[in-house]
Amino acid sequence: MKTRITTIFAGLAVAALLVVSSAAVASAAAPVVAGGPAGTGVCAKESAAIKAGVSIDTLRAFGDCEITRRLTTLDAAAAKISASKALTSSDAAALSAEVAWTKSGLTALKAKIDAETSPVALRAEIRQVVTDYRVYLLVVPKVNLVNGADAVQVANATFAKISTNLTARIAAAKAAGKDTTAAQADLDAMNAAATQAVGLAAPLPAALLPLTPAQYNAGTAGPVIKNARTALVQARGLLQSARKDAVACRDALK
């Protein structure tokens, strides 16, 4: 019993990291190409080159760098999806398809950038790296948040097993003439918290998976992601409370 509760808590810590990591990519510096990538981090050198002198070569190098780093990020996202023990098969398939589509589109866009000879067209194509794909503000958060939501469902299934175990122990203690009032109250609190957590997490995949870059650009996807992140944080807190209640119930039966 003790080991099972500890395992649940470890899983909740992972879910917390998913929420934080999806929030960490939301900020960006002023882009060197209006409406395009920020040009920070691994592409700072290419960004500085544009500021020093705009040319076909500097624009192309910048666009290529920003696409390459997104492809690397998408590879990591694909690996996370494959390694996840929480994602349902349908959610994993949907996320994998989106990652694959995004990689394909960016690869095709890189080919256009590499062949482009017009500075004006190059700027427009560089903007598309952001506006047409939204890797950091949409795709990555979707992977993290859907994975986190499904992890809540997995934790709830384990709590259900714990509930069955504790219910049997309470019944045995009561039959032996012991006062189980406190234990029953803790069990009820655990079940209620787990149920509330699932209520918050269960609707998230259906709300997140259909979101598109166009919806993000229109301002409708961002609030959905923000609300999902808030709901998942609340669900995590409820599961942590449920864990404490389970421990309290177990201890009350000693």
For residue range 153-208, list pLDDT tens digits in order.
999 999 999 999 999 999 999 999 999 999 999 999 999 999 999 999 999 999 99
Question: Among residues 135, 191, 142, 139, which one has the least CA distance to residue 162?
Answer: 191
Structure confidence at residue 37 (pLDDT) = 87
C-alpha angle 150-152-156 in degrees, rounded to nearest 5: 120
Percent of the chain topping pLDDT 70: 87
CA distance 101 to 134: 12
| Average pLDDT, rounded, for the chain | 90
Cα 36 from Cα 125, distance rounded (Å) = 9
- The Cα-based distances of 178 to 1, 185, 189, 246 in angstroms read 20, 15, 20, 19
Nearest to 226 by CA among 243, 238, 242, 208: 208
Q: Which residue has the tokens 């503000």?
A: 137
Determine what percent of the chain is predicted with pLDDT higher than 90.
81
Which tens digit of pLDDT belongs to each residue from 49-98? 988 888 999 999 999 999 999 999 999 999 999 999 999 999 999 999 99
The values of phi and psi at residue 85, to 5°, are -100, 0
Q: For helices 181-201 and 221-252, give the axis angle rounded to 10 degrees.
A: 160
- Dihedral, CA of residue 108, residue 109, residue 112 and residue 113, to nearest 10: -140
What's the length of the chain?
254
38-74 burial, b if ≥16 CB within 10 A, otherwise e? bbeeebeebbebbeeebeeebbbbbbbbbbebbbebb
- Rounded Cα–Cα distance for residues 75 and 133 (Å): 15
Question: How many alpha carbons lie under 13 Å from residue 202 in its C-beta half-sphere?
Answer: 8
Overall average pLDDT of the 39-50 stretch: 89
- Show the tokens assigned to 204: 């998230």
pLDDT digit string (tens) for 25-36? 444 456 667 778
Q: Would you kindly state where each structural domain of the chain is located, as residue ranges?
A: 2-252
pLDDT-derived band at 24 (thresholds 50, 70, 90) equals very low
